[in-house]
Amino acid sequence: MNIEELREFCISKKGVTEEFPFDADTLVFKVMGKMFALVPLERLPGQCNLKCDPERSEELRETFDGAIMPGYHMSKKHWNTLFLEQLPPQLIKDLVDHSYDLVVSGLTKKLQQELNDLD
Protein backbone atom coordinates (compact mmCIF):
# COMPACT_ATOMS: atom_id res chain seq x y z
CA MET A 1 0.00 0.00 0.00
CA ASN A 2 1.36 3.41 -0.88
CA ILE A 3 0.78 6.65 1.02
CA GLU A 4 -1.94 7.90 -1.35
CA GLU A 5 -3.91 4.66 -0.92
CA LEU A 6 -3.50 4.96 2.84
CA ARG A 7 -4.68 8.57 2.70
CA GLU A 8 -7.78 7.65 0.71
CA PHE A 9 -8.64 4.91 3.19
CA CYS A 10 -8.19 7.19 6.20
CA ILE A 11 -10.26 10.09 4.86
CA SER A 12 -13.08 7.74 3.84
CA LYS A 13 -13.82 7.11 7.53
CA LYS A 14 -16.56 9.04 9.30
CA GLY A 15 -15.56 12.29 11.02
CA VAL A 16 -11.96 12.27 9.75
CA THR A 17 -9.97 15.38 8.92
CA GLU A 18 -6.42 15.67 7.65
CA GLU A 19 -3.98 18.40 8.56
CA PHE A 20 -0.35 19.34 9.10
CA PRO A 21 -0.26 20.50 12.75
CA PHE A 22 3.44 19.81 13.37
CA ASP A 23 5.25 20.65 10.14
CA ALA A 24 4.79 20.58 6.37
CA ASP A 25 5.95 16.96 6.12
CA THR A 26 3.83 15.12 8.70
CA LEU A 27 0.28 14.43 7.58
CA VAL A 28 -2.04 13.80 10.54
CA PHE A 29 -5.45 12.16 10.40
CA LYS A 30 -7.88 12.94 13.21
CA VAL A 31 -11.33 11.74 14.13
CA MET A 32 -13.34 14.41 15.94
CA GLY A 33 -10.10 16.29 16.62
CA LYS A 34 -8.12 13.33 18.03
CA MET A 35 -5.14 11.79 16.20
CA PHE A 36 -5.34 8.21 15.00
CA ALA A 37 -2.74 8.18 12.20
CA LEU A 38 0.41 10.11 11.39
CA VAL A 39 2.22 9.83 8.07
CA PRO A 40 5.72 11.31 7.71
CA LEU A 41 5.70 12.17 4.01
CA GLU A 42 9.47 12.71 3.72
CA ARG A 43 10.47 9.32 5.13
CA LEU A 44 11.34 6.51 2.76
CA PRO A 45 10.25 3.79 2.66
CA GLY A 46 6.68 4.89 3.36
CA GLN A 47 5.66 4.75 7.00
CA CYS A 48 2.64 5.36 9.18
CA ASN A 49 2.18 5.66 12.95
CA LEU A 50 -1.01 4.10 14.30
CA LYS A 51 -2.44 3.79 17.78
CA CYS A 52 -2.71 0.21 19.01
CA ASP A 53 -3.74 -1.77 22.06
CA PRO A 54 -0.51 -2.44 24.04
CA GLU A 55 -0.87 -6.25 24.08
CA ARG A 56 -1.65 -6.36 20.38
CA SER A 57 1.32 -4.06 19.73
CA GLU A 58 3.70 -6.57 21.27
CA GLU A 59 2.24 -9.44 19.23
CA LEU A 60 2.42 -7.45 16.00
CA ARG A 61 6.02 -6.38 16.62
CA GLU A 62 7.05 -10.00 17.20
CA THR A 63 5.12 -11.35 14.21
CA PHE A 64 6.19 -8.62 11.78
CA ASP A 65 9.69 -7.97 13.12
CA GLY A 66 11.23 -5.04 11.25
CA ALA A 67 7.98 -4.09 9.52
CA ILE A 68 6.11 -3.02 12.68
CA MET A 69 8.13 -1.24 15.34
CA PRO A 70 7.47 0.89 18.43
CA GLY A 71 6.02 4.26 17.41
CA TYR A 72 8.65 6.70 16.19
CA HIS A 73 8.47 9.88 18.32
CA MET A 74 5.31 8.53 20.00
CA SER A 75 4.40 6.56 23.11
CA LYS A 76 6.09 3.21 22.48
CA LYS A 77 3.37 1.48 24.50
CA HIS A 78 0.39 2.81 22.54
CA TRP A 79 1.71 3.54 19.04
CA ASN A 80 3.36 1.50 16.29
CA THR A 81 5.29 2.57 13.22
CA LEU A 82 4.38 0.49 10.17
CA PHE A 83 6.61 0.20 7.10
CA LEU A 84 3.90 0.19 4.45
CA GLU A 85 5.69 -1.64 1.63
CA GLN A 86 6.54 -4.59 3.89
CA LEU A 87 2.98 -5.37 5.02
CA PRO A 88 -0.12 -6.75 3.32
CA PRO A 89 -2.57 -3.95 2.42
CA GLN A 90 -5.43 -5.67 4.27
CA LEU A 91 -3.39 -5.80 7.49
CA ILE A 92 -2.68 -2.07 7.18
CA LYS A 93 -6.40 -1.37 6.71
CA ASP A 94 -7.23 -3.55 9.72
CA LEU A 95 -4.71 -1.64 11.84
CA VAL A 96 -6.04 1.72 10.63
CA ASP A 97 -9.52 0.55 11.64
CA HIS A 98 -8.18 -0.59 15.03
CA SER A 99 -6.50 2.79 15.63
CA TYR A 100 -9.62 4.69 14.58
CA ASP A 101 -11.83 2.52 16.82
CA LEU A 102 -9.51 2.98 19.81
CA VAL A 103 -9.63 6.75 19.44
CA VAL A 104 -13.41 6.79 18.95
CA SER A 105 -13.89 4.65 22.06
CA GLY A 106 -11.91 7.22 24.05
CA LEU A 107 -13.99 10.19 22.89
CA THR A 108 -16.44 11.83 25.25
CA LYS A 109 -20.04 10.68 24.96
CA LYS A 110 -20.89 14.06 23.45
CA LEU A 111 -18.27 13.70 20.71
CA GLN A 112 -19.27 10.08 20.07
CA GLN A 113 -22.87 11.25 19.59
CA GLU A 114 -21.74 14.02 17.23
CA LEU A 115 -19.80 11.42 15.25
CA ASN A 116 -22.83 9.12 15.12
CA ASP A 117 -24.96 12.02 13.86
CA LEU A 118 -22.68 12.67 10.87
CA ASP A 119 -23.95 11.42 7.53
Q: φ and ψ at 110, to 5 degrees?
A: -60, -50
pTM above 0.85, yes or no: yes
The residues, any chain, with a CB within 8 Å of residue 43's CB and separated by 6 or more, are none
**What local confidence, expressed as pLDDT, does residue 116 receive?**
92
Does domain 3-106 correspond to CATH entry 1.20.58.1880? no
- The domain limits of the chain are 3-106
The residues, any chain, with a CB within 8 Å of residue 13's CB and separated by 6 or more, are 31, 96, 100
Can you tell me the distance from the alpha carbon of 12 to that of 4, in angstroms, rounded to the nearest whole number?
12
Write down the H helix ranges in 1-119: 3-11, 54-63, 89-105, 109-117
Tens place of pLDDT per residue across the chain (119 aa) = 999 999 999 999 999 999 999 999 999 999 999 999 999 998 888 999 999 999 999 999 999 999 999 987 788 889 999 999 999 999 999 999 999 999 999 999 999 999 999 87
